[in-house]
Structure 1
Amino acid sequence: MEELIERETILELKSRFFDLISTGRLSSSEILTQMLIKLKELLQAAEVDLFRCEEWTKGMQLEATTRTELDEGVAGGFQDCFISDLTEAPQSFIKNPESFPQYDLVFVMDARENVKNLCAVQLNGASLGCFSDSLLNKLADECALFIQKIHILAETTEEEKRYKQLFRVTKKFHSTMDMDAVLSEIISTLREVYPSFTYYLLLSHDHQGYGGLPVKDLEYDSENETAMQAYVSGHIQFEDSVTDKNSIMYAPLKGRQGVYGVLQVIAPNSLVFPQNEVEFIKLLANTAGSALENAKLYEQSRKLIADLQLINETSHQLNTSLRLTDTMKFICGQIIKSFDAREVGFIMLDEDNHDYSVLQGSTSFFFSNEASDYILKVARRVKQDMEPLFIGDISSDIRDVSSHFRSVMCVPMIQSGDLKGFALVMHEEPYHFAFDTFKLLQSLIHHSTLAFTNSMLREELERMVVTDHLTKLYSRGYLDDKMNLSMLEDAQGTFILIDIDNFKCVNDQYGHQVGDEVLIQLARQIAKNIRGTDIGARWGGEELAIYLPGAPLEIGVMIANRLVDKVEKHTTPNVTISCGVSTWIRGQEDTTKTVFKRADQALYKAKGSGKNKVVVQNENQLGYSDKV
Structure 2
Amino acid sequence: MKKKLEHQFILKLKSSLFNLIYTGQTLFRYEDFLFEMLKSIRELSGASDVTLYGRDEWKQEFFVECSTNASHDLLNLPKLVSFQEINMLMQEANKAQSRFNSRVPSMNEHGDMLFLMNNGFVEGCVILQYTQGKPSNLTDSMLNVLADECSKALVSVKGITLLKTEKKRFKKLFHVTKKFHASMQMDLLLSEIIVTLKEMYPSFTYFLLLSHDYESDIELPIKDLDYNDENIAAMQAYVTGVIQFEDEIADKRSILYAPLMGNQGVYGVLQVIAADTLLFPAKEVEFIKYLANTAGSALENAQLYQQSQQLISELQMINETSHRLNSDLRLTETIKFMSEQIIRSFQAEEVGFILFSQEKEIVSILKGSTDFFYKEEAIPYIEFADNKIGKDKEAIFIGDLHVPSSTDLEDFKSIMAVPMDQTGELKGLALVLHHIPYYFSFDSFKLLQSLIHHSTLAFKNSLLREELEKLVVTDHLTKLYSRSYLDDKVDVSMSEDQEGTFILIDIDNFKSINDRYGHQVGDTIIIQLADIISKNIRGSDIGSRWGGEEMAVYLPNVPSETGMRIANRLVKKVNNMTDPAVTISCGVAYWNNEYDDNYTSLFKRADEGLYQAKNTGKNKVVFKHHTNHH
Q: Establish whether TM, by shorter chain, passes 0.5.
A: yes
Q: Is the 8 A contact 2:58 2:281 kept in 1?
A: no
Of residues 376-385 and 425-434 in structure 1, the stretch that sits farther from structure 2 once superposed is 376-385
- Identify the match of residue 318 of structure 1 among 318, 325, 333: 325
Question: Counterpart of 1:430 in 2: which secondary structure?
Answer: coil
Q: Which residue of 2 aligns with 1:421?
A: 428
| Alpha-carbon spacing, 1:369–1:4, altered in 2? closer, same or farther (3 Å) | same
The aligned residue for residue 625 of structure 1 is: none
1:391 deviates by 1.5
Residue 458 of structure 1 and its aligned partner are, at CA, apart by 0.7
Name the counterpart of 2:163: 156
Once residues 74 and 555 of structure 2 are traced to their aligned partners in structure 1, the CA distance between those partners, rounded to angstroms, is 97
Match of 1:520 in 2: 531
Distance 2:76 2:629 in 1: 111
**d(CA) in 2 for partners of 1:101 and 1:602?**
134
The alignment status of 1:537 with 2:543, answered yes or no, reads yes
Q: Is the partner of 1:224 in helix, strand or coil?
A: helix
Q: 1:277 aligns with which of 284, 288, 291?
A: 284
Q: 2:138 aligns with which of 132, 137, 161?
A: 132
What is the match of residue 264 of structure 1?
A: 271
* Matched residue, 2:17: 14
2-structure distance, mates of 1:62, 1:300: 54
Q: Is 1:465 aligned with 2:462?
A: no
Aligned with residue 216 of structure 1, among 208, 223, 229: 223
Specify the alignment match of 2:405 in structure 1. 400
Task: Name the structure 1 match of 2:249.
Answer: 242
Q: Is the 8 A contact 1:347 1:359 kept in 2?
A: yes
Query: Compared with structure 1, are the counterparts of its residues 283 and 558 closer, same or farther at alpha carbon in structure 2 (3 Å cutoff)?
Result: farther
Cα 1:459/1:130, change in 2 over 3 Å: same
Given candidates 366, 372, 388, the residue that maps to 1:381 is: 388
* Counterpart among 59, 62, 67 of residue 60 in structure 1: 62
The one-letter code of the counterpart of 2:27 is: G
Residues 387-446 of structure 1, C-alpha deviations (whole Å, 9 max, x = no match): 311122222xx4438653322111111133245211112233222222233223223222
| 1:409 alignment counterpart | 416
Larger of the two Rg values belongs to structure: 2
Contact 2:54 2:64 in 1 (8 A): yes
How far apart are residue 453 of structure 1 and its match?
0.9
TM-score relative to the length of structure 1 = 0.75
Paired amino acid for 2:405:
D
Q: 1:333 aligns with which of 326, 329, 340?
A: 340
DSSP-derived class of the 2:208 partner: strand
Contact 2:254/2:278 (8 A) holds in 1 = yes
Segments of structure 2 that go 5 or more residues without pairing to the other structure are: none
C-alpha distance in 2 between matches for 1:220 and 1:330? 43
- Matched with 1:290 is 297
Q: Report deviation, 1:457.
A: 0.8
Distance in 1, Cα, partners of 2:326 & 2:269: 48
Matched, 1:227 2:230: no
* Contact 1:253/1:260 (8 A) holds in 2: yes
User: 2:460 corresponds to which residue?
Assistant: 453
Are the aligned partners of 2:45 and 2:138 in contact in 1 as well (CA < 8 Å)? no
Aligned mates of 1:121, 1:391 — CA distance in 2: 76
- Between stretches 321-330 and 48-57, larger displacement belongs to 48-57
Q: Give, in whole Å, the separation in 2 of the partners of 1:405 and 1:311.
A: 27
> Following the alignment from structure 2 to structure 1, what is the Cα–Cα distance between the partners of residues 10 and 383?
101
Judging changes above 3 Å, is the alpha-carbon distance between structure 1 residues 55 and 558 closer, same or farther for their aligned structure 2 residues? farther
Change (3 A) 1:241 1:376: same
Equivalenced residues, count: 601
Deviation, 1:76, is 9.0
Aligned to 1:51: 53
RMSD over aligned CA atoms reads 5.2
TM-aligned CA deviation for residue 322 of structure 1 = 2.7
Which residue number corresponds to residue 356 of structure 1? 363
Give the TM-score normalised by the residue count of structure 2.
0.75
Aligned partner of 1:626 in structure 2 is none
